Amino acid sequence: MGLFGHLFKKKADSTTKIGNVEDFSSLTRVYFQAAIAVNLGITNIRFLPDVANFKRLFKVPTQGGKLGLAEKTASRKMLMQDYGLSESFFKEIDNSVKRNCRHQNDIQPYLFMYQGFSNDLIMVIGNLMQWKFRIPSVFQKALYGMIQKTVHDICTKPVFKADDVHKTAMSVRQYKERLGYSEAWMSEYVYKIIVLAKKEPKQKKNKNEEK
């Protein structure tokens, strides 16, 4: 399914389900790019491919003649209402964008850096937690607590036994410092991805049964 394929197929449909990891990641990128557009006053939408797709798909009108304002508000609303993200999650993104994107030439390096941060964070979390991912969804508090502890270890533990884990953890730590994200932000982001990933096999199974 294409970009945002699982997100709000029809506003009037009260049975619409929350999307998968791909949808969540895509919507998060929309917020990042919209925040960059607002911060730098970008007018060329070609710099912001995910915003362009989002704008076209959901027919978001440009607000006050400024690209990014309406898209930022709309994507933030979806992420908060449908994925339960906190106010602080978006404040940290805004602060990170202001800190790292001061010119248009900073856009691509920043987005590449964030993508590297996200990929390495999920990879090292997967290596360190492993069996803990199998915890039933009813024990969400316990899972969140384990994620918080693992993120704290990634940010503070001096040495990890496995060389590849150690290398990736150090990479995440460097990204964290450059981007300016807190352990709380990292925990919230990882938790949401894990919860969505745990639901995907069940969603696929139900879809196959309907055929």
- What is the pLDDT at residue 199? 81
Indicate the length of the chain as a whole number. 211
pLDDT digits (tens, 9 = 90+) for 120-138: 999 999 999 887 767 766 6
Position 192 confidence tier, pLDDT thresholds 50, 70, 90: very high
pTM for the predicted model, two decimal places: 0.84
Long-range pairs for 180-186 at CB < 8 Å and ≥24 separation? 180/92, 180/95, 180/96, 180/99, 180/100, 181/92, 181/96, 181/117, 182/92, 183/148, 183/151, 183/152, 183/155, 184/88, 185/88, 185/89, 185/92, 186/121, 186/151, 186/154, 186/155
Q: List CB contacts of 75: < 8 A, sequence separation 6 or more.
A: 27, 30, 31, 34, 54
Dihedral pair phi/psi, residue 57, rounded to 5°: -65, -45
- What is the pLDDT at residue 203? 52
**What is 35-96 written as a DSSP string?**
HHHHHHT---GGG-HHHHHHHHHHTPPPBTTBTTHHHHHHHHHHHHHHH---HHHHHHHHHH
Structure tokens at 208: 């196959």
d(CA 105, CA 81): 33
Structure tokens at 103: 């010119």
**In the predicted structure, residue 181 carries a pLDDT above the cut 50:** yes
- What is the pLDDT at residue 134? 72
How large a percentage of the chain has pLDDT more than 90? 71
Nearest to 58 by CA among 34, 91, 92: 34
What is the rounded average pLDDT for all residues in the chain?
86
* 14: three-class secondary structure by DSSP: coil
pLDDT digits (tens, 9 = 90+) for 69-101: 999 999 999 999 999 999 999 999 999 999 999
